[in-house]
Amino acid sequence: MTFSILIGSSTKNNENGKNDDDDETSLSRFVSYLSAKEAAGVITKSIPSNSADGQNEEKATLNIYPPCPFTKKILKNICPSISFSNGPHTPPSKPTTNNQDEHLMLVIVQNES
């Protein structure tokens, strides 16, 4: 099994120096949706194998996690210098839209046959 852990976040400015509110709003909505549902997004995809017979397929899974204690713990272990805001704790049923903590943790897992 091979895996990668990535962090996704929006930026305040695009490459032209203008506010890119559409991307930020899209991320905010997706983060809010996952947080409200207390869920992760999961996508599974078949990948053609490079085997000689060309018949085998490998599977990869993309897991998308909103900000939560689990993601913060994992990200702190991987990158000890990362910091999160110290704002008030909000129960999962009332997700925040605090832009400082707005991120997605993406875990890509390739299951080798």
Tokens of 27: 């991320």
User: Does residue 24 form part of some domain?
Assistant: yes
- Look at residue 89 and tell me if it is in a domain: no
The tally of domains found in the chain comes to 1
Digit-coded pLDDT (tens) for 3-39 = 899 988 766 555 555 555 666 678 888 888 888 888 8
Give the Å distances, CA to CA, from 46 to 3, 52, 112. Answer: 15, 17, 11
Q: Domain range holding 57?
A: 2-84+94-111
Contact indicator for 10, 103 with CB cutoff of 8 Å: no
Q: Is residue 20 part of a domain?
A: yes
pTM: 0.68
Tokens 């709003």 identify what position?
Answer: 25
Determine, yes or no, domain membership for 19: yes
DSSP reduced 3-state for 66: coil
Which domain CATH number covers 21? Answer: 2.40.290.10
